[in-house]
Structure 1
């Protein structure tokens, strides 16, 4: 699904990952993180895809860098981040980008 974002400017957090073989609690935690993010001030939307090879990309959209920082340190999110580093991901990279313009077709 394509996120419905407001007119720019806003920010995008791009999380690219390679999953490990561990599945324990991953799906439930991912669902919980989405629920929490959607209730976080400044959250604008999310898009996510994962290939059969375990590579995934999730892009979350935020109103400000302050909103991103607040999400980064949210207590349950911190626990999920730690589990990701220790259990769920072989590799990952997070990038933060400023969105100055957008275009497309509905």
Structure 2
């Protein structure tokens, strides 16, 4: 467990409510649970994933919802629409990419 950075080790100790845990226990938590844990951000998830890989384990990414990637929460969709409007106001041309993502091009 020495390879795991202190911040991630301490965050996992809080999750398990004990000082010792195994890589198998961490992998069993799953990506979403680790992602939601206090003290574990994107960099921490990367460190934990690398630590698990060093122990021969994987932390598979969560499967997208049944509706597919096109299902965007209303609040997120509204935020995107406001951002697109702001970009257009400042002279940017916004075109949809080959999928649900939005790409901005300067003029």
TM-score norm. by structure 1 comes to 0.28
- The higher relative CO (CA closer than 8 Å, separation ≥ 6) is in 1
Q: Specify the structure having the higher radius of gyration (Cα).
A: 2
Greater fraction of residues in strand: 1
TM-score norm. by structure 2 comes to 0.28
